[in-house]
Structure 1
Amino acid sequence: MIRSMTAFARRDTQGDWGVLTCEIRTVNHRYLEPSFRLPEALRELENRFREQLRTQLRRGKVDVALRFQSTETRPRLEIDESMAKAVNDAANHINRMLDNPAHLSALDVLRWPGVLASAEQDYSSAKKAADGLFAETVSELVSVREREGERLRPLFDERLETMATLVADVRKLMPTLLQAQEETLRNRFAQARVELDPDRLAQEMVMLAQKSDVAEELDRLDAHIQEVTHVFQSDEAIGRKLDFLMQELNREANTLSSKSIDARVTRAAVDLKVLIEQMREQVQNVE
């Protein structure tokens, strides 16, 4: 199955604790590289989210943004009255020792470490909701990647079919080309008024056949085309394997071009390289 590495998914949910919004955006990357932007209240969920991503995705740069709007619009403050009284008593004690005592204001007492603290808020319900929301968003993201990948499949199939046709055409053409080359050699001997030596002609034809033998290249091209088709049926991540196969296809097309003895073979090799490059560009975005 083809999965694109470019996708976006967004889900949100709400409850008595507030509103949660999760957005995940992915682009192509050689490896799986997730990054997270989480609110401080939910920061401890990051490791759990990373593990979930590893089970669902294989490659891609993944940006996760989780926003949390709590119903607690104003922070609750708690005063440690015993600490405040102790600070006040200490200040009064010092004032009695001074000639010009300074009065201690309420704000001075509140600034003293340990007197004022934010009440610990219970985010357990929000964390549980964030877990479910993240799983839903990842599931939607995977579905989007699969749909995007399926849109690419006809493009690959069309190019693979055209490549197979080009290879078959060159294979059919080769016997005719070799026969034409033999006739060319005979004509050159005749024009030079050199006695036609059957052994010399056979030797020249063997050398020509060796130089222009592209049977191996054509066989490899056919094998690689079939392998690409087979890889598309795999449920695993196929991007790296496809990238390797594109390199192999391009290598064989280059060799076919270098061994060409006819403009038609050269054109076929060039067309093959164009098709391979078009596929390679799309493969860079396949998981």
Structure 2
Amino acid sequence: MIRSMTGFASGKGAFGPHSWTWELRSVNGKGLDMRLRVPDWLTGLEAALRGQMSKALSRGNVTLSLRLNRDETAPDLVLNEAAMAAALTALARTQDLAAVHGVTLAPSTASEMIALKGMLEAGSDVDDPAPLVGELTNEFADLLAAFIEMRESEGQALAEILDGQLKQVSALTAQAAELAEQRKEKTAETLRENLARVLENAQGADPDRVAQELALIAVKSDITEEIDRLKAHVAAARDLLSQDAAVGRKLDFLMQEFNREANTLCSKAQSVELTSVGLELKAIIDQMREQVQNVE
């Protein structure tokens, strides 16, 4: 099952005094470009989320946003006396050193002291982000699964569109083969006329060179190889669409091969009907290529 590179998922959660909202979205990209917006103080969270996404995704410009809030009605804050004692000792030592150098420091206020990291607690997890990081990491797995499910759903729709376009390419290829078969007699007639013209002006000409020129005339009007390769490309594209893997790059390369054969067919057409079929092929292939740009 192929996946689209376009996707979106959102979610909400809560743990202790914290609540949050997630948003995960992606659009087309040549490779995998991940942009994460998560609070810096949640040590290790970004690395963990990147690891999950790298394993699950192959292509796309992916943006993850985490908005975190803290409940101000959480349990009363408790002073961490050990941390405060250490801070006061360091402050006293700083004042003593300043006095030795003749520097007078402004006194610190109580509000400034308790604002220092680790001075207030509302349980053992306030200054340790690990439990919250663990909860967020676990919850993100569900968000990522929902995101992938949406990309797979979009991919299924893409696969159906591409399958329909491949059927059109197959039908047009068969039509081109039929037209080429119908014009064989006319092509042979043209070749005989060219042969007569060459022979009339071939006095003293190198027989090998004459043979090469005649072979070149025949090759310029023969589209057998182009028809065979178009059929092979259709089969290859259908095989890729059936795979449960990231095949976007391979499909994109295959579209270039489709286009090359259609161009060559048009250049060899030498008839209005066959040229018309070639142009239709080019139009369908161009539409396919637009769809393939969104395949992971």
Give the TM bin, normalised by the shorter chain. 0.7 to 0.9
Q: Which residue number corresponds to residue 291 of structure 2?
A: 282
Deviations 1:206-225 (A, max 9, x none): 66432200000100000001
Q: Which residue number corresponds to residue 260 of structure 2?
A: 251
8 Å CA contact 2:43, 2:130 repeated in 1? no
Amino acid in the other structure paired with 1:108: P
**Percent of residue pairs bearing the same amino acid type:** 36
- Indicate the SS of the match to 2:41: helix
Q: TM-score, structure 2 length as denominator?
A: 0.78
8 Å CA contact 2:187, 2:221 repeated in 1? no
Q: Which residue number corresponds to residue 249 of structure 2?
A: 240
Q: Which residue number corresponds to residue 62 of structure 2?
A: 62
1:86 and 1:137 mapped to 2: Cα distance? 46
Amino acid in the other structure paired with 2:116: A
Equivalent positions of 1:1-287 (< 5 A) are 1-72=1-72, 80=84, 84=88, 108-110=107-109, 117-119=116-118, 121-183=127-189, 208-287=217-296
2:87 and 2:50 mapped to 1: Cα distance? 43
8 Å CA contact 1:84, 1:115 repeated in 2? no
1:258 and 1:216 mapped to 2: Cα distance? 13
Amino acid in the other structure paired with 2:220: K
Change (3 A) 1:170 1:34: same
8 Å CA contact 2:9, 2:25 repeated in 1? yes
Deviations 1:43-74 (A, max 9, x none): 42111111111111011111111121122579
Instruction: Say what the alpha-carbon RMSD is for the aligned residues.
Output: 3.6
Change (3 A) 1:90 1:139: closer
1:58 and 1:217 mapped to 2: Cα distance? 33
Amino acid in the other structure paired with 1:15: F
- Indicate the SS of the match to 2:244: coil
1:87 and 1:240 mapped to 2: Cα distance? 61
| Structure 1 range deviating more: 80-89 or 35-44 | 80-89
1:47 and 1:61 mapped to 2: Cα distance? 17
8 Å CA contact 1:246, 1:276 repeated in 2? yes
1:127 and 1:246 mapped to 2: Cα distance? 44
8 Å CA contact 2:43, 2:133 repeated in 1? no
- Indicate the SS of the match to 1:278: helix
Change (3 A) 1:19 1:184: same
User: Tell me, which stretches of 5 or more residues in structure 2 are unaligned?
Assistant: 119-125, 201-210
Amino acid in the other structure paired with 2:108: V
Offset of residue 21 of structure 1: 1.5
Q: Which residue number corresponds to residue 123 of structure 2?
A: none
Change (3 A) 1:208 1:44: same
Quick check: which has more Rg, 1 or 2? 1
Amino acid in the other structure paired with 1:240: R
- Indicate the SS of the match to 1:48: helix
Amino acid in the other structure paired with 2:17: W
8 Å CA contact 1:17, 1:126 repeated in 2? no
- Indicate the SS of the match to 1:109: coil
Deviations 1:57-114 (A, max 9, x none): 011111111121122579877673576588679979x99xx9xxx9x9xx82338997
Change (3 A) 1:257 1:122: same
Deviations 1:3-48 (A, max 9, x none): 0001111011123232121111111111111111111332421111
1:279 and 1:237 mapped to 2: Cα distance? 17
Offset of residue 175 of structure 1: 2.5
| Structure 1 range deviating more: 108-117 or 213-222 | 108-117
8 Å CA contact 1:253, 1:269 repeated in 2? yes
8 Å CA contact 1:9, 1:24 repeated in 2? yes
- Indicate the SS of the match to 1:237: coil
2:127 and 2:190 mapped to 1: Cα distance? 92
Amino acid in the other structure paired with 2:281: L
